[in-house]
Structure 1
Amino acid sequence: MDGGGPDRVVQRCAEHADDGGTILRLAPSGRSNADDRRQLVTSMQASSRCTGHTPREDTELFPKIKDVVSSHEYDAMAEDFEKKEHELFGADGFEKMTARVAALEQQMGIFDLNQFTPR
């Protein structure tokens, strides 16, 4: 990723905020329609670049949150995230979206992670 610090990361993610929607919209036709496939690949590549920092956040940043906020603040954040999930995706939103992504992965032939794991 190019330089620019946190502001640049936020800007790049904002630029690609709709990549997920584009991917969901084009996944069903991407195998049979060349134009849709090209746009699908472009959106997937952009999304991948935008989320390159995610593993570090998951392993380094998020565990440290408990060190810098009180347990009350942490619980309030969790509640806010849960409310936002329900607002965006309805009841059982995470579970529904996980199932939706799994179905798309199966349609695209990328569901079995073993095919991508070096032996």
Structure 2
Amino acid sequence: MQKKVAGTIIYNDQQGSHFLVKHSTNGYNFYQLLVRAGHSPLASVLWDLRYTIGIDVDQLRLYDSIMAELDDEKVAVFVFDHLAVDGQVRAKFDRQGLEFVLASELHELFTSVRVSETMPFTNLSK
């Protein structure tokens, strides 16, 4: 069984903090993908953002990383920031079913993320 990895990008504007997520019938989820053979989890996320989504990953800065239980599986979750988000960037994410959603609308997602020691996402949705 291949390991999964997850990622999100924080984007801030006058409305507040937005997170890159995927919407499904079960609500919002972080962007999840399989770890590529021969790559680390971080390299897999960056590869996918660059070559599948088509964004300039050189802009990104790693804001945080945690080990979390998502859908009953332990995965590394990487949080990036510093991406210049415009209509063209949003369109690239839209093609993959991803969107930036205000943190205040993601309370259910943040409270469902289970980490071993602390829950850094719980205060972001308030």
Q: Which has the higher contact order (CA 8 A, sep 6+)?
A: 2
Higher share of residues assigned strand:
2
Give the structure-1-normalised TM-score: 0.30
Give the structure-2-normalised TM-score: 0.29
For the pair shown, the structure with the greater C-alpha radius of gyration is: 1
Higher share of residues assigned helix:
1
